[in-house]
A = this chain, B = another copy of it.
Amino acid sequence: MKTKVAIVGANGYSGEELCALLCRHPGVEIVAVSSRTHAGKAVGDVLPRLSGQPAIEGLKFCDSKIDVLLATGAEFFFLALPHGLASEFALPLVKAGRRVIDLSADFRLRSASIYEEFYGEAHPAAEMLGEAVYGLPELHREAIRKAKLVASAGCYPTSILLPLIPLLRAKLIVSDDISVSSASGVSGAGRKADITLLYAECNESLRAYGLPKHRHLSEIEQELGFAAGTPVVITFVPHLAPMTRGIHTTTFGKLAAGVNFAQVEQALAGAYASEPFVRFRGTLPDTKNVNGTNFCDIAVRFDERAGRVILLSAEDNLVKGAAGQAVQNFNLMAGFDETSALL
């Protein structure tokens, strides 16, 4: 018997990608897809890319209301909603005994005060922060398996955490001298009517934004701090690049005293040798090689003239950075093979 799942807020880019992935999942039945604006419409009409997929044949968007959602019989709920709104669903769903994979930022922080510092408002459900697990399987696999509420890790954070964590854990780089430059495809900004996201505004355009204190810094520094065993502050500059998908991150770090570069390479190779979705390799990552996949590609180089370690990583912001990660978390929670629907 298949596991029943529901997707709440399926008309954004992450929600659409989630539907596409779950359509392929051999152990899943999609029993509900919800949207406030599209309730009543056939899924294939709103998301024409998915039309003709047997898994959504005849399925119509239902309204994004708790009682409607609970009545569908779904055991697992994916929340692909804007931050702030997700917690309104997570709370009652978990209380009703359902398990939730939240793609928003609502439950990624352990500290309500840090949430307030970065998001500019009080956390809407601070009592659940202790229960939620940060949904990056490479870091928290065992906790995810048992979690009721998984806060699936964000796109920039995933691309920054995966290369840095093994080096901070082993104290191979200095923890207070880290600068990060990331570039994201435009889908990362969501499907919203905003002049700055128009084709003619983004094509032939590369620009930084959100300086100097991007919201994602809070979850990045939280997890880096856990790895380093000490608070970590980094400088992070996100850029918008003229592409639909993909995040490329370049991280500058300083080799710690007494460490040689071979140790850095070994730490990364060791950390990811048996990870199904991290490819630590000799060649430099390229977003085109990860787009449409759940892989995060990582490479490292050493600038011996400056004593700096350069970490490079690439992922699809909508897959490993959002929907794929959510499915990977779900697979762990539901007891499926971790790679189901993802290879």
Contacts and interface: CB of A to CB of B under 8 A. Distances in A.
A35 interface: no
Contacts of A243: 203-206, 242
Contact of A211 (B207, B281, B310, B343): B310
B52 A276 contact: yes
B252 A252 contact: yes
Contact of A305 (B186, B213, B343): B213
Contacts of A241: 183, 206, 241-242
Given A203-B244, A246-B204, A246-B206, A179 B291 contact: no
Interface in A260-318: 276-277, 279, 281, 283-293, 295, 297, 301-306, 308, 310, 312, 314
Nearest to A300: B211
A159 to B, nearest CB: 11
A216 B292 CA distance: 30
A72 interface: no
A268 to B, nearest CB: 15
Contacts of A194: 193, 198
A23 interface: yes
Given A198-B198, A204-B243, A234-B306, A49 B213 contact: no
Nearest to A285: B207
Number of copies: 4
Contact of A288 (B204, B252, B301): B204
Contacts of A246: 204-206
Interface residues of A, number: 80
Contact of A13 (B200, B306, B308): B200
A248 interface: yes
A209 interface: yes
B295 A52 contact: yes
Contact of A302 (B48, B212, B250, B308): B212
Contact of A200 (B207, B244, B289, B304): B244
Contact of A292 (B198, B292, B297): B292
A205 B51 contact: no
A199 interface: yes
Contact of A289 (B49, B181, B304): B49
A186, A197, A198, A287, most chain B CB atoms within 10 A = A198
Interface string A66-89: 000000000000000000000000
23 contacts: A49-B288, A49-B289, A49-B293, A191-B195, A191-B201, A199-B201, A199-B242, A200-B244, A203-B203, A206-B314, A207-B284, A207-B314, A208-B250, A208-B285, A208-B312, A209-B284, A211-B301, A212-B304, A213-B303, A233-B305, A233-B306, A239-B250, A292-B292
